[in-house]
A and B are shown apart, each in its own frame.
Chain A
Amino acid sequence: DTEVTQTPKHLVMGMTNKKSLKCEQHMGHRAMYWYKQKAKKPPELMFVYSYEKLSINESVPSRFSPECPNSSLLNLHLHALQPEDSALYLCASSQDLRSTVYGYTFGSGTRLTVV
């Protein structure tokens, strides 16, 4: 299995809603990432988990809350989002944080719209 699977593919939520994005990989990768991508822009790193521990938080607002329940799963919990948070949210994984020689494997993303 060489895929990163993200669900849902599309999500529309109100500013008072609570929702979660899910990401799953079965490649044995020990580093997992959340990226945010606005239209016509490159992906921006949000969070990095290494061996199920949060290693990097790129000063992301607290309305985004990541969680790594086990080595295969990564969640992003969303609460009280703003319309400007609408974007494509990408999950990625790599063998580990110290070796990026193989690059990252990306999921297809969740297209989030905040209304």
Chain B
Amino acid sequence: AQSVTQLGSHVSVSEGALVLLRCNYSSSVPPYLFWYVQYPNQGLQLLLKYTSAATLVKGINGFEAEFKKSETSFHLTKPSAHMSDAAEYFCAVSAQLSGGYNKLIFGAGTRLAVHP
């Protein structure tokens, strides 16, 4: 069964510092992996996705993630944090179900705080 684990429920960085949010996956087949961001009282917005085309994936708002099969990781990074990056971030994997269906399974989430 596919799953994702996000390491660190809270991450705090200074404005301008590197952002690193960790996600490890478990999957017996090549996975589709996603990062979503959720601002307070909002829905989820897709930041980026890995679909096996390239291991380094660039997303919106300056975020990128690198798929590392050897480490079963898909960590999210941004070189320089902005105050507006403060939000909840969810890593997700597309899980195969019986009947050929797929559904997204989310990690527990990481709350990113950005300090001046």
Residues of A that sit less than 8 Å from B by CB: 4, 6, 40-43, 45, 48, 50, 55-56, 88, 90, 92, 97-109, 111
Contacts and interface: CB of A to CB of B under 8 A. Distances in A.
Interface string B99-116: 011111011110100000
A101 B101 contact: no
Interface of B: 32, 34, 36, 41-46, 49, 51, 90, 92, 94, 97, 100-104, 106-109, 111
Nearest to B42: A108
B102 to A, nearest CB: 4
Contacts of B106: 42-43
Contacts of B101: 48, 50, 55-56, 97-98
Given A41-B109, A42-B90, A42-B109, A103 B104 contact: yes
Nearest to B45: A106
B43 A109 contact: yes
A102 B33 CA distance: 10
Given A98-B101, A102-B49, 14 more contacts: A40-B109, A43-B44, A43-B90, A90-B43, A97-B101, A97-B103, A101-B94, A105-B46, A106-B43, A106-B44, A106-B45, A108-B43, A109-B41, A109-B42
A101 B42 contact: no
A87 to B, nearest CB: 12
Nearest to A104: B104
A104 B92 CA distance: 11
5 contacts: A42-B109, A43-B90, A48-B103, A50-B101, A98-B101
Contacts of A48: 101, 103
A101 B103 CA distance: 11
The 5 closest A-B pairs by CB, nearest first: A42-B106, A106-B43, A100-B94, A106-B44, A100-B102
A12 to B, nearest CB: 15
A105 B109 CA distance: 18
